């Protein structure tokens, strides 16, 4: 067995995918391919894909435009919301600029109120997401909202989205999810095959690949290559195994992953929206009613905007066992009330039912807390 020193260059390619995608997005626009921007995992991507549109995640991950956003929005607001609004307002995000329509949802209060202002400079459609996953009324509401989104896309782009098109898009997204699931399942290996930082690069980068068939092939090839090398004995050093949960991370908030891994642990699983929350469950391809199949998958996403949010606990329960997790880090973006309030529930579950250490950290899009993050992570890893 030899300790792995070099990682495949393709990780860097995935890390650069967001930037490399700018030119691709421009090319698509020149070819008149519609572009649909999204801010949330609840958005059923299958619908825009079914009409041949490109779908792009617009959640901003740096503090570059927060100052501009704070001219319109309160300072004491989640950085994800302020930064996303700021990139839209200043036209500094090419993906936002090229998006013909932005689809939002009534998730947290901050986001849904921000969309009212965003609608002043962009075509924004907000889907009415129920606050609970319980009961037929919630299900019907979400199913109807999905059908309404289809109608809105058809009208805006003067096209017809057939059920056969949606079925093909469901199949494509399921294959994409399966490829990514198989990739992040490498995190189950003990000792690990790759770092959490590299898992995140692939998960984040894959959201900016517009040729989805090609992206599936790349992820499958990467998984195969790492598995083969692992079987030949190339492994990473065994360290305490960490699961990350909470608010979405990526971009500047990768500082949390770095702080964990620089201080003696490996991140083996990402439960949050850049990871399993968005990917783990497939859409049923058996159901005749495609809208029902979509509603079932998307409404079951375990976000803290739901009350109660049992599906987050169910996912954590499974992942902690399957990934042999030694400790859980809950990442809360500043002023995110729903995730902040839910920390108590997650702590009780992790410390109580699973009997492993838990830590919640609150952070923002600045780099000023890196020293503090390092100190806290070093102490956390030491107590595992
Ligand atoms: S499904 S996690 S992407 S809502 S961090 S903006 S909740 S104040 S991002 Fe999210 Fe959809 Fe849920 Fe996922 Fe509000 Fe909290 Fe900010 Fe958040």
Separation of alpha carbons 292 and 247, rounded Å: 27
Segments in the chain forming alpha helices (H):
10-15, 17-30, 46-50, 66-69, 79-90, 94-98, 109-118, 136-157, 163-184, 196-206, 212-231, 254-262, 276-279, 290-299, 310-322, 337-347, 370-383
Q: How confident is the model at residue 192 (pLDDT cuts 50, 70, 90)?
A: very high
Q: Give this complex's ipTM.
A: 0.95
Equal fold, 2-9+188-383 vs 20-164: yes
For the cut 70, the answer to whether the pLDDT of residue 369 exceeds it is yes
Separation of alpha carbons 146 and 178, rounded Å: 23
**Domain layout of the chain by residue ranges:** 2-9+188-383, 20-164
Domain 20-164 coded CATH 3.30.230.70: no
pLDDT of residue 60: 81
Mind listing the pLDDT tens digit for each residue in 12-67?
776 677 777 788 888 888 999 999 999 999 999 999 999 999 999 998 888 889 99
Q: Ligand 1 centre and the CA of 59: distance in Å?
A: 9
Separation of alpha carbons 180 and 160, rounded Å: 30
Q: How confident is the model at residue 244 (pLDDT cuts 50, 70, 90)?
A: very high
- For 265, the token pair is 């642990």
Specify the ligand 1 atom closest to the Cα of 79.
Answer: 16
Q: Ligand 1 centre and the CA of 239: distance in Å?
A: 30
Of 281, 305, 330, 332, the residue with max ligand 1 atoms within 8 A of its CB, to mutate for a pocket test, comes to 305
Q: How confident is the model at residue 197 (pLDDT cuts 50, 70, 90)?
A: very high
Q: Ligand 1 centre and the CA of 247: distance in Å?
A: 6
- For 135, the token pair is 């009961």
Q: Ligand 1 centre and the CA of 54: distance in Å?
A: 22
- For 177, the token pair is 């999810």
Q: Ligand 1 centre and the CA of 37: distance in Å?
A: 16
DSSP string, 115-163: HHHHTTTS-EEEE---S-S-SHHHHHHHHHHHHHHHHHHHHHHT----H
* Cβ-Cβ contacts under 8 Å for 26 (sequence gap 6 or more): 94, 98
Mind listing the pLDDT tens digit for each residue in 128-157?
999 999 999 999 999 999 999 999 999 999
Other beta carbons less than 10 A from residue 82's beta carbon? 29
Q: The tokens 């519609």 sit on which residue?
A: 34
For the cut 60, the answer to whether the pLDDT of residue 312 exceeds it is yes
Instruction: Decide: 297 and 281 in contact? Cβ < 8 Å.
Output: yes
Q: How confident is the model at residue 226 (pLDDT cuts 50, 70, 90)?
A: very high
Q: Ligand 1 centre and the CA of 108: distance in Å?
A: 7
* Cβ-Cβ contacts under 8 Å for 51 (sequence gap 6 or more): 34, 153, 154, 157, 159, 161, 165
**3.40.50.300, 3.40.190.10, 3.40.50.11900, 3.90.1150.10: CATH of 2-9+188-383:** 3.40.50.11900
Q: Assign residue 237 a region (left: φ > 0; alpha: ψ between -120 and 50; beta: otherwise).
A: beta
Instruction: Report which of residues 61 and 257 the model is more confident about.
Output: 257
For the cut 60, the answer to whether the pLDDT of residue 214 exceeds it is yes
Pocket of ligand 1 (CB under 6 A): 40-42, 78, 80-81, 107-108, 110-111, 247-248, 273, 301, 303, 305, 333, 336, 338-339
Of 248, 249, 341, the residue with max ligand 1 atoms within 8 A of its CB, to mutate for a pocket test, comes to 248
Separation of alpha carbons 168 and 72, rounded Å: 42
């Amino acid at each position: 067995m030899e300790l792995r020193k070099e990682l495949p260059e393709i990780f860097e390619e995935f890390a650069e995918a967001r930037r490399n995608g700018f030119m691709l997005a421009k090319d698509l626009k020149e070819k008149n391919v519609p572009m649909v921007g999204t801010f949330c995992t609840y958005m059923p991507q299958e619908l825009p894909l079914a009409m041949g549109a490109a779908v792009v995640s617009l959640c901003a991950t740096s503090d570059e435009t927060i100052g501009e956003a704070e001219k319109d929005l309160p300072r004491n607001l989640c950085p994800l919301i302020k930064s996303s609004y700021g990139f839209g307002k200043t036209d500094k995000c090419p993906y936002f600029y090229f998006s013909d329509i932005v689809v939002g949802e009534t998730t947290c209060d901050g986001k849904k109120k921000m969309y009212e202002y965003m609608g002043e400079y962009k075509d924004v459609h907000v889907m009415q997401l129920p606050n609970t996953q319980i009961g037929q009324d919630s299900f019907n509401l979400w199913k109807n909202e999905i059908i309404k989104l289809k109608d809105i896309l058809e009208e805006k782009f003067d096209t017809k989205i057939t059920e056969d098109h949606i079925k093909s898009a469901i199949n494509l997204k399921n294959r994409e999810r399966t490829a990514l699931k198989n990739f992040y399942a490498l995190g189950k290996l003990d000792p690990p095959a790759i770092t959490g930082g590299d898992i995140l690069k692939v998960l984040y980068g894959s959201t900016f690949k517009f040729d989805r068939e090609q992206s599936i092939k790349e992820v499958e090839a990467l998984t195969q290559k790492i598995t083969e090398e692992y079987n030949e004995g190339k492994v990473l050093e065994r360290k305490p195994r960490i699961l990350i949960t909470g608010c979405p991370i990526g971009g500047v908030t990768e500082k949390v992953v770095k702080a964990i891994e620089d201080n003696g642990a490996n991140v083996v699983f990402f439960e949050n929206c850049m990871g399993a929350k968005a990917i783990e469950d497939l859409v049923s391809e058996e159901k005749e009613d495609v809208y029902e199949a979509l509603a079932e998958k998307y409404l079951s996403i375990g976000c803290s905007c739901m009350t109660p949010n049992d599906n987050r606990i169910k996912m954590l329960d499974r992942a902690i066992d399957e990934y042999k997790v030694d400790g859980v880090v809950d990442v809360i973006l500043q002023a995110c009330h729903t995730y902040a309030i839910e920390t108590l529930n997650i702590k009780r579950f992790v410390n109580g039912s699973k009997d492993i250490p838990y830590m919640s950290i609150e952070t923002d899009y600045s780099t000023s807390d890196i020293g503090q993050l390092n100190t806290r992570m070093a102490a956390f890893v030491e107590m595992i």
